[in-house]
Chains A and B, each alone.
Chain A
Amino acid sequence: MVWKTLKRWYHQLGSPRYFYTFSSTVLPWLTPIALLTLVTGLVWGLAFAPADYQQGNSYRIIFIHVPASSGALMGYMALGVAGLVAVVWRMKMAEVMLKAIAPFGAALAAISLVTGALWGKPTWGTYWQWDARMTSMLILLFMYVGVIALQNVIRDPRQAARAAGLLAMVGVINVVIVKYSVEWVQTLHQGSTLKMFGESTIDPAMKYPLLISMLGLWLLYAANVLIRARSEVMWRERRSKWVGKLVREGNR
């Protein structure tokens, strides 16, 4: 039953035209909800959450750093899945997604590195150390940039997608390294505060604004992917009848 529904979605959303109508109904809701959630989480975290017992107020960068890092990692996982579908099934929408997911993820990886460095200076006493977590995160940023560059350097969009898809899949190995680097080897970077299983080592008064900021940023990422995918679909299908009709009607 679930499998059948998933399969139906896969085929429906695999059609550029269906995706376009679907995203038209979702976006007017998704974008405001995402912005509202993100602003709520950030204002709560940056202005109202209590200060930390050791770091004082400088810990507040967590409300940007952790959502950005988690967004960058999840985005790359999605990129890997899109890459797999694009390479094995040659599905057009997966190629579109490959192009739509990368830029926001690259920006988030960069934000994660910059905010981490700014926090590291007062807390650790250094902006940067070549420890496993920081180095693998820098590689993640390079992988994102590589996927974007590959798509732009190859003229034929279908071939470009296959090359970028392969790179995206290979990079998923690095995502695993980023995630577990703090557990497998000795690093300056601390372990995860938020735990999927077991108790998180963060006070609830700080945890809730953090979780809300994370959710808000993820939703904003999703909205950004839909918007980028829509314009890419329009461009790729520019010779089709339905796009011509949309443009003539001025219904963009």
Chain B
Amino acid sequence: MNPVRKQRLILVVAVLVGLAIAVGLMFYALRQNINLFYTPQQIAAGEAPLNTQMRVGGLVKAGTVVRDQESLDVQFVLTDGKGAFTVHYQGILPDLFREGQGIVANGTLISNTRFEAEEVLAKHDETYMPPEVQDALEKAGHPGAQKDSE
């Protein structure tokens, strides 16, 4: 290769590698802030700040959704298998909200076991299938049928 081009190539590669390392380090340092939400495990470990606006994410534990008959109050247990806490919410839940569904809630953590949500978002997983396939999977007791609860 012609020496001038070689020099340019080395310079460009050096700049890019340096920049990639810088961005990588920045990403690493800000990891906690780039994460959209805290997991129940982190909350159980006391890593999340109390009484601050933040988001939590996890699965709605089956059989724990309690709806108030008179109002829009709802409470449920959010879990990731390694930690769990109760979420209180007043408002309309998204269509995809159901037991076993992954959700992200925005609000404040009152204590390590109680979260007051102002907004509840459903987190969709990457599985797509027609309803008939889902029925068939459920009938066969296939583990894939539970995949939608991830």
Residues of A within 8 A of B (CB): 50-55, 59, 62, 84, 87-89, 122-126, 129-132, 166, 169-170, 172-173, 177, 184-188, 190-193, 201-203, 205-206
Asked if B35 and A188 make an inter-chain contact with CB atoms under 8 angstroms apart, the answer reads no
| Consensus secondary structure, chain B interface | mixed
Chain B positions within 8 Å of A172 at CB level: 16
Task: Decide yes or no: A185 and B122 within 8 Å by CB, A51-B131, A88-B9, A201-B127 being known contacts.
Answer: no
Asked if A188 and B36 make an inter-chain contact with CB atoms under 8 angstroms apart, the answer reads yes
11 residue pairs of the A-B complex, CB under 8 angstroms, read A51-B131, A52-B131, A54-B124, A54-B148, A55-B96, A124-B121, A124-B123, A125-B121, A132-B35, A190-B126, A203-B130
Asked if B130 and A129 make an inter-chain contact with CB atoms under 8 angstroms apart, the answer reads no
Shortest CB distance A26–B (Å): 29
Shortest CB distance B111–A (Å): 22
Chain B positions within 8 Å of A185 at CB level: 31, 34-36
Asked if A123 and B34 make an inter-chain contact with CB atoms under 8 angstroms apart, the answer reads no
Residue B104 contacts which of A122, A188, A191 (CB distance < 8 angstroms)? Answer: A188
Number of residues on chain B facing chain A (CB within 8 A): 39
Chain B positions within 8 Å of A84 at CB level: 12
Q: Is the CB of B132 closer than 8 A to any CB of chain A?
A: yes
Residue B126 contacts which of A129, A184, A193 (CB distance < 8 angstroms)? Answer: A193
What is the bound-complex CA distance between A125 and B95, given in angstroms? Answer: 8
Known interface pairs A123-B95, A173-B23, A186-B37; 19 further A-B residue pairs with C-beta atoms within 8 A, sorted by A's residue number: A51-B131, A54-B124, A55-B96, A55-B124, A88-B5, A125-B93, A125-B121, A130-B36, A173-B16, A186-B36, A188-B104, A191-B126, A201-B127, A201-B128, A202-B127, A202-B128, A202-B129, A203-B128, A203-B129
